[in-house]
Amino acid sequence: MSSASPRSASPRFSIGIDLGTTNSALAFAEFGSDLPAVVVATIPQLTAPNETSPEALLPSFLYLHGEKEFQPGATALPWDAEPGYIVGKFAQRRGAEVSGRLVASAKSWLSYTAVDRTSALLPQQAPEGVQRVSPVDASAAYLRHLRNAWNEEHPDAPFDDQDVFVTVPASFDAIARDLTQRAAAAAGYLDPVLLEEPQAAFYAWLERHPDWRSHLGKGDLVLVIDIGGGTTDFTLITVTERDGQLDLERVAVGDHILLGGDNIDLTLAHAVNAELAGRGTKLDAFQMQALRSQCRIAKEKLLTPASTETEAPITILGKGSSLIGGTLRTRLSRPQLEAVVESFLPRVGSNDMPETARRAGLHEIGLPYAQDAAITRHLAKFLRQRAADSEHGAVRRGPSGLACPTHVLFNGGVLYPTVVRERLAEVLTGWLADEGFPAAELLPGEDLDHAVARGAAYYGAARRGKGVRIRGGIARSYYVGIESAMPAVPGIPAPLKALAVAQFGMEEGTSVAIPGREFGLAVGEPAEFRFFSSSSRKNDPPGELIEDMLGDLDELPPVQVTLPASGNPESLLAGAGFVPVTFVPVTFETTITETGVLQLWCKSRDAQRWKLEFDVREKR
């Protein structure tokens, strides 16, 4: 049962938060004009002991320091004199030296179904006696820091009174999205809205290009390529026409691919380790963890847009009692970095699918990274299979069935190097030529560091009518099963009717109250809720009750759950006898969230609410 407190009815700001794998960011837009300007916020954070400074990004790293590792007050923040951990830039730096206390890639762990993501399992390589936290706890720490930072900088506009939007990968499943919501709740967020990262990146482009209609026309298909620290996401957005005006609609979302900057860091670490081994130096497991962190720092230094450095230093503490004397030093060169990055982008054909190898029978518990590191092959699969599976007729396709974009928008820190963008454009151009199409146009003006946060803030303004919204109408109509009230007949189940709860084309980010009579909701005991969908019945309005479902509706996997009992349950007749069954009379309201989840809210007469939900985008 949901009982979250609502946001302020009249917020002053829309706040966009990019909860990133490697870096997090915050941007905001102030309501008051038709096209509010989006501002990137600086985030106060610890950069060294006793040193706090505002930074444009909050590195998504959590350092669990020892009890006497720092002098009292050395890790104090403006809003917390004695924090129990360190978040941000200093956490990243300190963790590169003491990797066994560093939590990284918590966001990737949120999507890993093979572990209990609420259990204390990070840092994975923590030595005996070191505190551990869950991926949800780590994510909450970053979100809490951003909330506190906002309140520190805007005492006249409390965070809890604003519209807040937190971004997630488009490929996050329902559980990962729910865990993100739980992390936000633990951080004190009242009712944040989740928004997909590729959509947010495109919203950022719209915010910077109010003349977007001069860049895009009816029938155009935009491919958003988002390669971040932990994931690679692909999204297709088509340009349509409604009532004589150009409109935007998201038509395809890629699979969840754990492939990104983390993989590059690991590859760099192996390359540097091979060089050290060639000089007779062998690293242990903890030094390899430190090397990986050092390679990440060196990579980000070299890839900073303003950087003119040709190499970056790498330092690894020695082993044993002579840590300083045994310190290892080497360097990472820009050509070496670019060669490794380019190895993730081989020139392949559009029919080349990601390779899979037979798995070993036993595996160390760790993140389920993509087996094939070739991002170009994953892109080919998306355009040839996932996008081709879209039920949307406006997707431009070539003779072979390949989805053929007219424009490309890049997002994510991995795309900083020019060589990466050029290679992706080169490969895509070759595929389009094979289909008889010209090269896709690269949309200008991307902001690889802050686009997701900026776009989320802009989306908040667009929701209130102060910007352009991307439509994401559902491709099917949805129904919930309603068991008929009838006397029990041996061997014959009670007939099932279908109540329409969401009509074809209902847009994401919208809600609809379902009119009509009440229904009895089973609470306090195990119950099964049956849902159906149809791609042919497009005109059933919410509230339509269908008596004959034969042939028209496809049944979805049932939802089995025990809903908590309400404060005033009522006993209704069940079967032929007077058997008390705990039911509550409820009416329905349907919400399609920004991340494609259908939420069926059951509302009682005394204002209590229960929520049933499932993903309307997952292939069934």
pLDDT of residue 571: 34
Q: How far apart are CA 319 and CA 317, in angstroms?
A: 7
Please give the domain boundaries of the chain with CATH numbers for all domains: 13-195 (3.30.420.40), 261-342 (3.90.640.10), 477-615 (no CATH)
- Which helix (H) or strand (E) segment is 424 a member of? helix 418-434
Q: What are phi and psi of 168, to 5 degrees?
A: -140, 160
User: Which pLDDT does position 447 carry in this prediction?
Assistant: 84
**pLDDT of 366:** 61
User: Which residue bears the tokens 């406006």?
Assistant: 394
Q: How far is CA 488 from the centre of its chain?
A: 47
Dist. CA 238–CA 218, nearest whole Å: 8
* Residue 523 CA: distances (Å) to CA of 178, 327, 564: 22, 63, 6
| Residue 314, strand partner residues | 330
The values of phi and psi at residue 285, to 5°, are: -60, -40
Rounded Cα–Cα distance for residues 434 and 423 (Å) = 17
Residue located via tokens 């298909």: 221
- What interhelical angle do 285-303 and 89-97 show, nearest 10? 140
User: Residue 594: which of 265, 154, 167 has the closest Cα?
Assistant: 167
CB 201 within 8 A of CB 453: no
pLDDT at residue number 501: 94
- How would you class 391 by CB atoms within 10 Å of its CB: exposed for 0-12, middle for 13-18, buried for 19 or more? exposed
For residue 249, which of 379, 386, 393, 384 has the smallest C-alpha distance? 393
User: Taking the chain (620 residues) in consecutive chunks of 10 residues, what is each chunk's mean pLDDT?
Assistant: 49 96 94 84 97 96 94 96 95 88 91 85 88 96 98 96 94 85 96 91 91 90 90 89 76 83 90 89 82 86 82 80 63 90 94 80 64 94 77 78 95 87 96 97 86 96 86 83 74 81 88 87 88 88 84 84 63 36 85 88 89 72
Place of tokens 């928008």: 409
Give the integer Cα–Cα distance in Å for 165 and 463.
11
Q: Are 249 and 472 in contact (CB under 8 A)?
A: yes
Please say whether the beta carbons of 81 and 124 come within 8 A: no
Please enumerate in sequence order all residues whose Cβ is within 8 A of that of 119, keeping only pairs 6 or more positions apart, or say none: 134
Answer yes or no: are the C-beta atoms of 193 and 7 closer than 8 Å. Answer: no
- Count of beta carbons in the 10 Å neighbourhood of residue 317: 16
Report the alpha-carbon angle 564-174-344, nearest 5.
Answer: 160
Q: DSSP per residue over 455-515, as a string?
A: HHHHHHHHHTTSS--EE---SSEEEEEEE-----BTTBPPPEEEEEEE-TTPPTTEEEEEE
What pLDDT does residue 496 have? 87
The pTM assigned to this predicted structure is 0.82
CA distance 528 to 264: 45
**Peptide linkage before 192 cis (omega within 30 of 0):** no
Distance CA 473, CA 249 (A): 8
Give the total residue count for the chain: 620
Helix axes of 334-342 and 261-278: crossing angle, nearest 10 degrees: 130
- Residue 329: in which H helix or E strand, if any? strand 328-333
CA 492, distance to chain mean position in Å, is 45
